[in-house]
Amino acid sequence: MTAISRTLFSSNAAAFDSYSRLVIALRLLLPSIGILLLALLIVWPLLNRGSNDILLKSYQTTEDLAQEKEGLHNPVFQTLDEEKRPIFFDADHALSNQLNQEEVELSSPTARLNSGLEGEIDLQSESGFYDQKGEKLNLDGVVSVKNSEGFELITDGVEIDLERSEAISNQQVTGHGPSGRVRAEGMEIRNKGGVIFLKGKSTIVMSPEGAGN
């Protein structure tokens, strides 16, 4: 065998050996790549879930809740406000509205609006419903509104805008606290619970301790 022939033979053998290693490597890698792509297809919708989605314990959407004919006990909901901050609210019992799966009927729902530096407000009612599409939590029946300073307001209905962390009531409001008593024809909660405005004809009676402040 001449030197040229030996060179060509060595080059061909090396190329064939490299090709063989490449084929073996691809056989090993392709199944793994397929598994990764499948996992990405499953996880991607969860990573790109919009602010209108809720988390309900192990349930991820109201469609899952609709499969539970008996509803769920002690569910915890999570959504996001306009600043992408999480907002939580819960209830003693939740049941999907069979006529409108975007709504969840709630028993004894409670919610909290937290403005950070200006304190927080807790709201609780006898019943209500969550409008997932409109990002509204409607509290019905007797509604209690308490702030971190010890003031409590009572009314008959409140609509909470979860996206803006604000609430409004057009029903009569009565309340009491360390600084006195109030009565009004409605109220608005703004600044993520930091400010409460009394609506309509309002009466404020200051207690001696409150007047001294």
What's this model's pTM, rounded to 2 decimal places? 0.66
CA distance 157 to 58: 30
> Which amino acid, residue 210?
G
In the chain, alpha helices (H):
3-47, 62-66, 208-212
Tell me: do 108 and 133 sit in the same domain.
yes
Structural domain boundaries, residue 42: 1-48
Check which CATH number belongs to the domain holding 122 and give it: 2.60.450.10
Is 53 inside any structural domain? Answer: no
Tell me: do 204 and 141 sit in the same domain.
yes
Task: Provide the 10 A C-beta neighbour count for residue 201.
Answer: 9
Is 55 inside any structural domain? Answer: no
HSE-CB for 90 with a 13 A CA cutoff:
7
Cα–Cα nearest to 56, from 98, 99, 97, 90:
90
pLDDT tens track, the chain, 213 positions: 544 444 444 444 454 455 466 555 556 555 666 566 655 554 444 444 443 344 444 344 455 555 556 778 888 888 888 888 888 899 999 988 777 878 899 999 999 988 666 678 999 999 999 998 889 999 999 999 998 888 899 999 999 999 999 999 999 999 998 889 999 999 999 888 888 899 999 898 887 765 544
Number of domain units in the chain? 2
CA–centroid distance for 50 within its chain: 10
């009569």: which residue's tokens? Answer: 172
Is 54 inside any structural domain? Answer: no
Tell me: do 90 and 178 sit in the same domain.
yes
Tell me: do 41 and 99 sit in the same domain.
no
Is 56 inside any structural domain? Answer: no
